[in-house]
Amino acid sequence: MHFIDSTNFERFLKKLSVDGELYVPVRDGETGKLHMERIELFPLPDNFCIDGLRTVEPLKAFAQPLRCPVADYPSTEGDDMSDDKPFPSVVVAGARGCDLTAMQLVDKVQTEGEFTDPFYKIRRDRMIVIGADCSECGESCFCNLHGAKPWPEKGCDVAVARIQGGYVAEAQSERGEKLIEENKDLFVDARDQQVKMRDEIRAKVVHELEENNKAYPKTAGLSEIVRDALGDGIWDDISARCVECGACTNICPTCYCFLLFDQKAGGSHFQRMFSWDSCQVTGYARMAAMANPRARLTDRVKHRYYHKYDYLPLSHGAVYCTGCGRCIDSCSASIDMRDALRKVKERSGGKKKA
């Protein structure tokens, strides 16, 4: 366990910025929310903030950009993609536990199966991630319902926790150990009192999470309950307010669906573009002859829950929700996933009693 003071932490980030584009959380003066901002000049801006909770943007955007070209044609380069393509290395500081878990879940889909997304893998391999504890929880945060903690348990290179005067830090990967060793002049051994300060903040946040979410069900056992409710009319009630905007899927750190389309790039050349897609919009599942297995809005809303709580637990062994709460914050219809799952569980309990 190490300690690094605030001045040396900035020096540490400055050194890391030599290895790639540096992004850090900054606090918006109007909304008070944290956003990722690229830092090209030092010192760090006054609104730099490791405290608080997760940023508005999900971490996945650094490995899977919202929109990017994936091919040019006609091309003389062939179909193989090599690592010398222009994919910059990226250093991300302040990633929270919910995002780190989400990235590991998306990794399972994008890099561990029969097919690998080469664009995702190159960006992912070139990411250096500095995780950070949450020093507070938002009203929509519910990582505790998934059995997770509001601090990095794994998935980053170095994890830091803000305390008075600086940060308690520990390596969580071989690369992280190397980074600390290469910059050992910036770190000292953490004292017991400093670790105690960190643990007290952690306990406070856990208590806040438990109080905020005591009315909602924990994830354990929910997959079976959701599976049994496939034909239940409760989904009509849950989807009644949905306006089909797709914000919930686009802001979700574990949603990975995409669309490919072609556009003219000048002259006789074209580009194939990658873009995020959303299963909540009408055309997502549309097939030839305009057939659509999920033409009803209720079926699309239901599909999002089943994808995370049923299909992916069966295929990849994990619930694909980390309780970050972004979908709750972004929903223009104020649909709360926790409340929807509570209603499904209550309906299931009622049926069993009957």
The tens digit of pLDDT for each residue in 190-233 reads 999 999 999 999 999 999 999 999 999 999 999 999 999 999 99
Q: d(Cα 157, Cα 166) in Å, to the nearest integer? A: 18
Least confident of 101-110, 166-175, 258-267: 258-267
Tokens at residue 101, please? 């878990």
The tens digit of pLDDT for each residue in 16-61 reads 999 899 999 999 999 999 999 999 999 999 999 999 999 999 999 9
Q: Is 22 in contact with 38 (CB distance < 8 Å)?
A: yes
- 152: how many CB neighbours lie within 10 A of its CB? 27
Q: Is 124 in contact with 102 (CB distance < 8 Å)?
A: no
Q: What percent of the chain has pLDDT over 70?
A: 95
Confidence of residue 85 (pLDDT cuts 50, 70, 90): low
- 8: how many CB neighbours lie within 10 A of its CB? 17
- Average pLDDT on 287-291 reads 90
User: pLDDT at position 206, please?
Assistant: 98
Beta bridge partners of 69: 273
Assessment of whether the complete model's pTM goes beyond 0.95: no
Q: Is 322 in contact with 133 (CB distance < 8 Å)?
A: no
Q: Residues 104-112: contacts with CB within 8 Å, 24+ apart?
A: 104/154, 104/155, 105/254, 105/316, 105/318, 105/320, 105/322, 106/60, 106/63, 106/64, 106/253, 106/254, 106/256, 108/316, 108/318, 109/256, 109/316, 110/63, 110/64, 110/256
- Average pLDDT on 234-240 reads 95
Half-sphere exposure of 291 (CA within 13 A, CB side): 4
Instruction: Tell me which H or E stretch contains 211.
Output: helix 192-212
For the chain, how far is it from start to end, CA to CA, in angstroms?
Answer: 55
Residue 14 in this model has a pLDDT that exceeds 90: yes
Q: d(Cα 95, Cα 20) in Å, to the nearest integer? A: 16
